[in-house]
C-alpha cells in the first residue's frame, strides 16, 4: 500500500502524518508513507486544501485531520 500525506508543514499536516503512522501501527498494514510538501506536486493531485491523505493514488481525506480510528478504517477497507 502506498500512502502519501500532502501538506506544507503546518500543524494540521504534521498531525495527519502522525495519526497515519499510528493507524498503520494499530492495523499492521504493510504501507509506505511519503510526506509531500511541494505545493506544485500537491496541486497536481487537485488538492486545494491541505492536509490530504492519498491511499494507492486515491484522495481519501482532504482539508481536515481524521481520527486514528477513521484512518485505520480507510486502510483496512
Mean pLDDT rounded to a whole number for the chain:
95
Residue 61 main-chain phi, psi, to 5 deg: -150, 140
pLDDT at position 2, please?
A: 97
pLDDT at position 52, please?
A: 97
pLDDT at position 53, please?
A: 97
User: Is residue 72 pLDDT above 90, yes or no?
Assistant: yes
Hey, which residues are catalytic here?
A: 10, 13
Q: Spell out the domains of the chain, with CATH numbers in brackets.
A: 2-75 (3.40.30.10)
pLDDT at position 41, please?
A: 93
User: What is the CA angle 27-29-12, rounded to 5?
Assistant: 70
Predicted TM-score (pTM) of the model is 0.93
pLDDT at position 48, please?
A: 86
Residue 62 main-chain phi, psi, to 5 deg: -150, 145
Amino acid at each position: 500500500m502506498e500512502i502519501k500525506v500532502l501538506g506544507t508543514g503546518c500543524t494540521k499536516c504534521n498531525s495527519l502524518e502522525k495519526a497515519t503512522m499510528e493507524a498503520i501501527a494499530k492495523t499492521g498494514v504493510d504501507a509506505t508513507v511519503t510526506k509531500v510538501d511541494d505545493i506544485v506536486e500537491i496541486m497536481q493531485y487537485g488538492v486545494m486544501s491541505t492536509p490530504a491523505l492519498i491511499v494507492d493514488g486515491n484522495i481519501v481525506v482532504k482539508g481536515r485531520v481524521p481520527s486514528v480510528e477513521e484512518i485505520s478504517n480507510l486502510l483496512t477497507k
